[in-house]
Amino acid sequence: MSCEDLDRLRTESSHSRSSSWPPDARRHLESCARCAQLQALLDGPSPVDFPEALQDRIEAAILPALGPVSPLPAAWRAAAALLLCAIVVIAAANWRLGVEGWDARSGLQFTVDFSLLGISGVALSNLLAQQMMPGSGYRAAVWAWLAVPLLALVAAVASLYGDVWKPDYVSWAMNCLKIGTACAACSAPLFWLALRRGFSLHPIAQGAAAGLLAGLVGVAVLEIYCPYLDRFHIFVSHIGAAVIAALAGAAFGWIKDKA
């Protein structure tokens, strides 16, 4: 565990005392004089009394840079903005590409697919809106929220679609993968505009969630556009685009976390 990991543990923990910390955190305290000195003050029986001169220097360094800011929007407004951005991209893309996939699917296939996509989109939008507000007190197992939509889509496709081979399978697959990732890439800047004023304590998880939401936009576009109803094609080229977008979002979050 590094010094940055320990600082993050202090931020995320409901209390700052080290008595209930995991063993690797306590081992770091034993090996790091800086962290041990700070923790000794935090574990002390009484609040730390900073000298008045030190407080004045801290205020002099911070206060001139402070300025008035507008409050963050309510979580439901941020979630609604994310969903509106997704709908705009889907409508624009399918206006250009067409709706052959819509016509090719049965009522059951269309209902199940878009019910899962809609529920997943609403859930991820709400998760991202809550994550952008560190003081909201909202806690969720982010990686479970990422896995469940993908597993649900895989299960639905496996049960609703069959095997339909085409000689030009590879060209179909590459074309759909390009369209799905392109739609995700178009959605990502719009999502950034909706989330830019917030602050996430978990940038990697937030990046993965935003990437998956953008990827689901690509999946929705492909479900409306693509008439090739082979289950393996949908696994690789439709859902695969969402996985690529989620991994790209996690990578951007990792870069932001290390910057």
pLDDT at 190: 93
pLDDT at 68: 72
Q: Quick one: how far is CA 45 from the chain centroid?
A: 40
The CA distance from 112 to 103, in Å, is: 15
The CA distance from 52 to 135, in Å, is: 29
Q: What is the pLDDT of residues 23-35, one digit of tens each?
A: 888 788 788 888 8
* Nearest alpha carbon to residue 208 among 114, 145, 153: 145
* Residue 36 CB contacts under 8 Å (≥ 6 apart), including other chains: 29, 30
pLDDT at 80: 94
pLDDT along the chain (259 residues), means of 10: 78 65 80 81 65 78 78 85 95 95 92 95 91 65 84 94 88 95 95 84 87 96 95 94 95 86
pLDDT at 136: 58
pLDDT at 153: 94
- Cα-Cα-Cα-Cα torsion 218, 220, 224, 229, nearest 10 degrees, comes to 90
Q: What is the pLDDT of residues 59-83, one digit of tens each?
A: 888 888 777 777 777 888 999 999 9
pLDDT at 245: 96
pLDDT at 140: 59
Crossing angle of helices 33-42 and 3-12, rounded to 10°: 20
